[in-house]
Amino acid sequence: MIDYLNSRSRAFIVATAGAGIVLLGVIDYLTGRELFFSIFYLLPVSAVAWFVGRRAGLVASVAAATCWLLAELADHAPYSSPAVPFWNTSVRLAFFVIVTLTLSSLRLVRQRQESLMQFIVHDLRSPLAIILTGLQTLEEVGGERPDQGEQKIIAHGIAAATHMQILINSLLDLPHLRSGKMPLQMASVDAKELVESVVRNIEPWAQRRQMTLAVECGEGAEPVRADEQLLSRVLTNLLSNAVKFSPSGSTISIRVSPAQGEMLAFQVVDQGPGIPSEWWDRIFDKFVRVEAHDQGASLGSGLGLNFCRLAVEAQAGRIWLESSGQGSAFTFILPSVNHRSRRGWPLGRSSNRAI
């Protein structure tokens, strides 16, 4: 998590810690020697050392020790020597510095572990691409001498490898999306064309499960301002979930329609089990999986919806879930090309409702 904080969050932590240190100094002075408040200086110092880094932690340590010293000097405590408060301050400072150095070292180790994981995940892409290409070649060759059993195995292999590819790309992109450092290729994207191309990729899988994918793209569906790749992956994730969790024989609708405020709404509606209300608050969080759905579907990661939310919000949109006992409707809105604000700032946090 530490790596995912953007500069605004870090600045917020530094400002809050600074205000906290000053406030503690004032409380320390007002309560005098009777109440022991000073231990709380460790909170802002630790927060800065862990979330912002070693240098800022050391600055916070000096600020905390100085505030503590000022409170003590202002209190005019009857010490045997005037040097005592300064000696005390040195001891406290040394303590804060030890805490800061320990936390920042732990932070560094964690960052290295995370980077290593990223490298490993990244390196999985090449062998997977080779496997996928091999399977696709086999599928093409198989078309000339069809064998139902073989074809089925190859199709399963392709679906699994494609799913793994999406997962790997999500794992690689999530930290960048969280820190706001994901480079986006924002352009005018034809919503209808994009939806049709995503549906074409998912259709073979849906057909194997005897499902119907119904695209409803209204007249007013203007192009959106989005990163085409990212948008296509959001739709792929939502559609894959709909196929994965819905019963065979059911229909999945993909609707594109204009929404208020020069936005375009994309909606994926399925006839699956729905998502109970107690999960709504956290369904877009990392690693969340609805336990009741685990039995039927293959094991997932709980990363897909988190990726969707971050990707939609990075493109100045909003995503939410509407669900009842029967079926789920995932809707996200993105600014159309005519939207007044052309900057990539989120318009607000996503939230869920009942239908």
Under the rule (CB under 6 A), what is the footprint of ligand ADP? 237, 241-242, 245, 270, 272-273, 275, 283, 288-290, 293, 300-306, 328
Residue number with CB closer to ligand ADP (192 or 293): 293
Residue number with CB closer to ligand ADP (103 or 305): 305
Residue number with CB closer to ligand ADP (85 or 304): 304
> To the nearest whole angstrom, how small is the minimum distance from the Cβ of residue 325 to ligand ADP?
12
> To the nearest whole angstrom, how small is the minimum distance from the Cβ of residue 168 to ligand ADP?
13
Structure tokens at 266: 């994309």
Residue number with CB closer to ligand ADP (118 or 271): 271
> To the nearest whole angstrom, how small is the minimum distance from the Cβ of residue 242 to ligand ADP?
5
The residue sitting closest to ligand ADP, measured at its beta carbon, is 300
Nearest to 180 by CA among 87, 310, 17, 342: 310
Residue number with CB closer to ligand ADP (222 or 313): 313
Q: How far apart are alpha carbons 199 and 232 in whole angstroms?
A: 10
> To the nearest whole angstrom, how small is the minimum distance from the Cβ of residue 129 to ligand ADP?
21
Q: How far apart are alpha carbons 317 and 315 in whole angstroms?
A: 6
Q: How far apart are alpha carbons 341 and 67 in whole angstroms?
A: 45
Spatial CB neighbours of 40, under 8 Å, sequence gap ≥ 6: 24
> To the nearest whole angstrom, how small is the minimum distance from the Cβ of residue 346 to ligand ADP?
19
Q: How far apart are alpha carbons 88 and 69 in whole angstroms?
A: 8
Residue number with CB closer to ligand ADP (241 or 331): 241
> To the nearest whole angstrom, how small is the minimum distance from the Cβ of residue 274 to ligand ADP?
7
Residue number with CB closer to ligand ADP (54 or 289): 289
> To the nearest whole angstrom, how small is the minimum distance from the Cβ of residue 221 to ligand ADP?
23
